[in-house]
């Protein structure tokens, strides 16, 4: 058997069809290599067999005990059978129950006097502790030594507890691992020898042995250190090769032009750019001036001036004879960007029009809901090059849209945008255009290095002068209803002082939505009783809350609604009137989360705030305090004071630092959401590495990977690394990295 194929061996050859089928269907394990990389989640310590007297409720336990009694009982007029087995271990007694067809085997085997190991989840029935349908392993009483040995093997050392499923418990997985463990000797080691020796790592076969069958806690630490490095290093090599390949692609260099559009724009700015904006602009201009495509991620808190930086990059490209496209995730946001960019540019956005500047260019909007005539004109302006800047939704990606010379693509809020969509837009240039990805969601450095590892990162961390602080408070509506009344009074006070407010709800509340929702029509009908758990009732809805406020707490004020199911013209109309100050209170869903800019809005009340994620709350809060008056954000929740949901809200109220909050968010969601489906549609390849805790490992692995790829881009001298890389980057993930 050669070194690669033993890892590629299908599990059914070694474990039999039934076990292999469960492993494939429920744990996504198909080969020997998959199973060897299915690491224990934790380890039970030596002698940690639970005594029957100390069994914890609702936990999975392993016990060694003797059968005291076993009897079959009939129920349901003799149609049903139940086997009840009583165990004893000297410290206490425990009942086991088996039902239906599952009674035959244990009835034959679990005879009084037999000793066995049992594993299952402890529950209570008729005030007695019991295990229902436990798995068990008999211990041969005739051979005391053998029985002791089995117990020792099973429980007398660090017992690995594997991520399991209902159909296959941890110790069966452990037995399966025993069957494939000899193959660990054939592990292909991805780390170059110099790196392995330089960092003093355990050889890979030994690390696999130690992680599955540790003798000591030091074994576990050794193995983890090594296996984390492998994961981090292989992923970083994949990303470094992506970045290297990008540097080999051709792109038109777009260099700033003296006395062009950019200079004219800068000259009319009523304020000076922040130091951060200057620094990031320089990084972007340097990238644009090279003959391979820029791939840059621009992170910046809400209101840090990312749009300004992106606009200056777009103007540079227009100066250099190219076109720039800005992609927004929603129509509301595309319209907002179009409005704010044309306002910022003034007559410079009216190139070729009466009253326009001779140095100007056309700035066009392209969305799915535009009328035919306007759309036709926009398409024409793009193909002739008349329009230097286009702002739109994914409608920009359609086949019909042709550019004269696309030089730069700016993608706003990347995490709402599929990689395929970015790729489709990228293919519209004569050569690959430069790419700038913007996000207001602060991304911890480690995530930026993994999820966005093929992008260079720029961070805008200063707020422009004149931005006001935002005070945030949790309003416990259930424990202290008078706090909620006070919240509405505060909104009224803000309006009386000439300001405006947002009220955000998780749900729209129209019939169409309910029918589509999880609960079908029932969701509509279900009105929560006041004493009900807030988690059980439907989330509060825009239409209902707006109605209540108009009739009650905010009667007499102008209250309007905004949500995603409104006609685009109606949405735009409401936003215009709110921006103009004609609407006092806007009750909305999260459509206002990104990009909406109304400096006069100073207060925000978020209903059922515990239904939103940490980063989302931070985004929403960034909509207030955008002018000179201080902002106020009230997080209304019925969650219990001691609940994790309330802890999350308190964290949001306690800090305005988005990076700190993104760490909290990540700790709570762990990596699944961050690295898994959300980004690649492929199950995360990380088994041992945790993005939140292993920052140093990831940073060091990235450095090593960059050096390795720079010296040997094709990895010709590192065949083992190439083999492991090919296995990691199955087709889907390779495509994901390609498109990232």
CA distance 190 to 174: 26
Hey, what are 110's tokens? 């679990």
Torsion of CA 100, 102, 105, 111, to 10 degrees: -70
What burial letters (b/e) apply to 494-529, b meaning 16+ CB within 10 Å? bbeeebbbbbbbbbbbeeebbeeeeeeeeebeeeee
Q: Which among 73, 114, 81, 120 has a CA at the least distance from the CA of 100?
A: 81
The conformation of residue 610, written as its DSSP 8-state character, comes to G
d(C-alpha 311, C-alpha 296), whole Å? 15
To 10 degrees, what angle do helices 217-248 and 695-711 make?
Answer: 50
Stretches in the chain below the pLDDT threshold 70: 1-5, 44-50, 60, 140-157, 302-303, 351-357, 414-423, 425, 442, 445-446, 451-452, 454, 462-467, 511-536, 593-596, 666-686, 690-692, 728-740
* Tens digits of residue pLDDT in 578-623: 989 999 999 999 877 665 678 899 999 999 999 888 878 888 888 8
Q: Give the per-residue pLDDT at 519.
A: 37
Task: Find where tokens 């955008």 sit.
Answer: 626
C-alpha distances in angstroms, 252 versus 257, 291, 317, 406, 733?
15, 6, 10, 10, 29
Tokens found for residue 512: 């169409």
Phi-psi region of 193 (alpha: psi -120 to 50; beta: other; left: phi over 0): alpha
Contact 348, 357 (CB under 8 A): yes
Question: What is d(CA 367, CA 397) in angstroms, rounded to the nearest whole number?
Answer: 10
Helix, strand, coil share of the chain (percent; to 5): 45, 20, 35
Measured CA angle at 561 (ends 557, 564), to 5 deg? 165
Burial class (CB in 10 A: 0-12, 13-18, 19+), 535: middle
Contact 319, 256 (CB under 8 A): yes
Q: Does residue 48 contact residue 58 with C-beta atoms inside 8 Å?
A: no
CA 732-699-201 angle, to 5 degrees, is 90
Structure tokens at 382: 């793009």
For residue 451, the model assigns a pLDDT of: 66
C-alpha–C-alpha distance, residues 454 and 240, integer Å: 7
Secondary structure class of 20 (helix, strand, coil): helix
């Amino acid at each position: 058997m050669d070194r690669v194929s033993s890892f590629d061996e299908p599990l059914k050859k070694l474990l039999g069809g039934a076990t292999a089928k469960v492993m494939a269907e429920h744990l996504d394990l198909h080969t020997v290599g998959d199973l060897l990389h299915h690491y224990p989640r934790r380890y039970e310590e030596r002698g940690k067999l639970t005594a029957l007297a100390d069994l914890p409720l609702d936990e999975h336990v392993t016990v060694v005990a003797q059968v005291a009694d076993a009897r079959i009982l009939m129920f349901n007029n003799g149609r049903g059978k139940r086997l009840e087995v009583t165990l004893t271990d000297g410290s206490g007694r425990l009942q086991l129950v088996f039902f239906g067809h599952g009674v035959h085997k244990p009835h034959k085997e679990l005879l009084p006097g037999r000793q066995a190991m049992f594993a299952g989840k402890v529950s209570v029935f008729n005030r007695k502790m019991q295990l229902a349908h436990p798995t068990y392993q008999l211990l041969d009483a005739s051979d005391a030594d053998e029985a002791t040995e089995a117990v020792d093997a099973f429980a007398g050392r660090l017992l690995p507890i594997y991520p399991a499923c209902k159909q296959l418990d941890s110790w069966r997985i452990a037995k399966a691992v025993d069957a494939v463990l000899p193959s660990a000797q054939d592990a292909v080691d991805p780390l170059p020898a110099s790196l392995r020796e330089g960092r003093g790592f355990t050889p890979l076969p030994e690390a696999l042995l130690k992680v599955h069958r540790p003798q000591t806690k030091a074994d576990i630490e050794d193995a983890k250190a090594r296996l984390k490095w492998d994961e981090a290093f292989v992923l970083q090599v994949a990303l470094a090769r992506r970045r290297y390949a990008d540097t080999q692609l051709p792109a038109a260099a777009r260099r700033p032009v003296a006395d062009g559009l950019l200079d004219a724009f800068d000259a009319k700015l009523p304020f000076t750019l922040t130091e951060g904006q200057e620094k990031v602009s320089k990084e972007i201009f340097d990238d644009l001036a090279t003959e391979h495509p820029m791939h840059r991620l621009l992170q910046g808190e809400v209101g840090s001036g990312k749009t300004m930086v992106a606009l200056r990059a777009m103007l540079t490209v227009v100066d250099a004879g190219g076109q720039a496209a800005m992609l927004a995730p929603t129509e509301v946001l595309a319209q907002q960007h179009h409005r704010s960019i044309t306002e910022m540019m003034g007559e410079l956005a009216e190139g070729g029009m009466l009253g326009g500047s001779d140095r100007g260019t056309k700035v066009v909007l392209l969305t799915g809901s535009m009328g035919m005539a306007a759309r036709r004109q926009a398409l024409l302006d793009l193909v002739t090059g008349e329009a230097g800047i286009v702002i739109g939704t994914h409608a920009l990606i359609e086949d019909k849209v042709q550019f004269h010379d696309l030089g730069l693509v700016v993608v706003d809020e990347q995490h709402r945008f599929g990689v395929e969509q970015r790729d489709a837009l990228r293919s519209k240039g004569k050569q690959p255009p430069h790419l700038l990805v913007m996000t207001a969601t602060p991304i911890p450095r480690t995530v930026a290095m993994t999820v966005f590892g093929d992008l260079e990162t720029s961070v805008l961390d200063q707020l422009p002068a004149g931005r006001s602080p935002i005070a945030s408070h949790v309003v416990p509506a259930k424990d202290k209803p008078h706090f909620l009344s006070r919240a509405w009074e505060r909104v009224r006070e803000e309006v009386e002082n000439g300001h405006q407010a947002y009220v955000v709800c998780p749900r729209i509340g129209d019939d169409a939505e309910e029918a589509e929702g999880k609960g079908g029509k029932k969701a509509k009908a279900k009105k929560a009783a006041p004493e009900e758990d807030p988690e059980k009732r439907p989330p509060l809805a825009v239409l209902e809350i707006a109605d209540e406020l108009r009739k009650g707490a905010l009667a007499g004020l102008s209250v309007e609604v905004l949500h995603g199911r409104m006609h685009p013209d109606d949405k735009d109309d409401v936003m215009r009137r709110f921006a103009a100050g004609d609407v006092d209170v806007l009750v909305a869903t999260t459509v206002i989360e990104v990009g909406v800019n109304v400096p006069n809005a100073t207060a925000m009340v978020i209903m059922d705030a515990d239904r939103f994620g940490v980063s989302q709350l931070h985004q929403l809060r960034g909509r207030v305090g955008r002018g000179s008056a201080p902002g106020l954000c009230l997080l209304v929740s019925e969650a219990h004071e001691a609940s994790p949901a309330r802890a999350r809200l308190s964290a949001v109220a306690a800090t305005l630092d988005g990076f700190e909050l993104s760490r909290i968010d990540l700790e709570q969601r762990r990596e699944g959401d961050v690295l898994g489906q959300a980004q690649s549609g492929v199950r995360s390849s990380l088994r041992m590495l945790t993005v939140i805790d292993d920052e140093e490992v990831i940073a060091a692995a990235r450095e090593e990977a960059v050096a390795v790829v720079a010296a040997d881009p094709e990895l010709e001298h590192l065949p083992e690394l190439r083999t492991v890389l090919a296995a990691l980057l199955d087709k889907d993930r390779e495509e994901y990295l390609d498109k990232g």
